[in-house]
Amino acid sequence: MHFSEFINSIPKLQKATLGGIEAQFQLAPTYRKHYDIEKIKALNPTKASVLIVFFPDENNNTSFILTKRADYNGHHAKQISFPGGKKDINDLHLIDTALRETKEEIGLYIKPKAIFKGLTEVYIPPSNFLAYPFLATLNVVPKFKTNYEVEGIITPSVAELLDINSMQIREVQTATGTLIKTPCFILSNQIVWGATAMMLSELRSLFFEM
C-alpha cells in the first residue's frame, strides 16, 4: 500500500467499526480464554498503552514499527511488541503514555495530532496489564535511537500484514518456559504472537472493514 493511499484511507479507518475481542482472539494464544472487559477492569489491572506508527519507507510503501524487547528478567523479554508501557503518574492520558514511551524507547517524537484512532484494549495476564493501542502517522522515514529496553526494531509493511500467508501456527516459548503452538503473524521473518498479534489482528480486520 502506497503511503499516499494509506493517508487517503484514514477517514475510512476512523469510521470503520472495531472488531473488538472477537477480532483479537483470532490470533490469541491457544491457552487464552475469552474474557469480559468489564470483569477485567474490576480486577484493577495496570493501565498501559502502545503506539502503532505508520510511515513511508524508502519506496513510499506504508510500513509500521515493531520493537524486539531486550533480554531482561521479566514476562515479555525478547518478545516482539509495539513501543509503549505502563501509565506514569504524570501522564494525563493514555495517549500521553504512548507518546512518551515511544520517544523514550525508540527516539521518535510523535505529535499528539498525529494519532487518528484507538483500538480495543487488550488484557495481558502475565503482567496484569490492560493495554490500549493507538494509531498514528509519521510522514517521513524515521531515524531511530533506541534505549536499553529495545534490542532491535522491525518495520514490516502493511502489505505483509494483510497477506493471508502472514498468519500461521508456530511453536513459541511462554514466559514460564513452556513450549506451545499458537496462532501468530510472520512479519519481516519474525514470529509475532501474544498480545501484539491480538492487536494486529484487530488492526488487520479494520483494513478489511473500511
Per-residue model confidence as pLDDT tens digits over 43-71 = 889 999 999 999 999 999 999 999 998 86
Nearest to 51 by CA among 62, 37, 65, 63: 65
For the segment 30-39, what is each residue's pLDDT rounded down to a tens digit? 777 777 777 7
3-class state of residue 119 by DSSP: coil
Cβ atoms of 192 and 80 closer than 8 Å: yes
Mean pLDDT of 123-135: 92
Classify each residue of 114-149 as buried b or exposed e, where b means 16 or more C-beta atoms within 10 Å of its C-beta.
Answer: bbebebbbbbbbebebbbbbbbbbbeeebeeebeeb
Instruction: Look up the CATH superfamily of 3-162+195-209.
Output: Nucleoside Triphosphate Pyrophosphohydrolase (3.90.79.10)
Q: How far is CA 169 from the centre of its chain?
A: 19
The whole-angstrom separation of Cα 170 and Cα 54 is 26
Copy the grid coordinates of residue 151. Answer: 534490542
Angle at 76 between CA 80 and CA 140, to 5 degrees: 35
For the segment 61-111, what is each residue's pLDDT rounded down to a tens digit? 999 999 998 866 555 457 899 999 999 999 999 999 999 999 999 999 999
Residue 21 backbone phi and psi in degrees, to 5: -60, -35
Query: Any alpha helices (H) in 54-149, and if so which ranges?
Result: 94-106
3-class state of residue 107 by DSSP: coil
CA dihedral over 83, 85, 91, 95, signed as positive or negative: positive
Q: How far apart are the first and last CA of the chain?
A: 14
Cβ atoms of 1 and 57 closer than 8 Å: no
For the segment 108-126, what is each residue's pLDDT rounded down to a tens digit? 999 999 999 999 999 988 8
Average predicted confidence (pLDDT) for the chain: 92
DSSP lists the bridge partners of residue 51 as 134
Question: What is the predicted pLDDT for the residue at 74?
Answer: 52
**Confidence category of residue 186, pLDDT binned at 50, 70, 90:** very high
DSSP string computed for 24-71: HGGGS-TTPPP--HHHHHHT-PEEEEEEEEEEE-TTSBEEE-EEEEP-
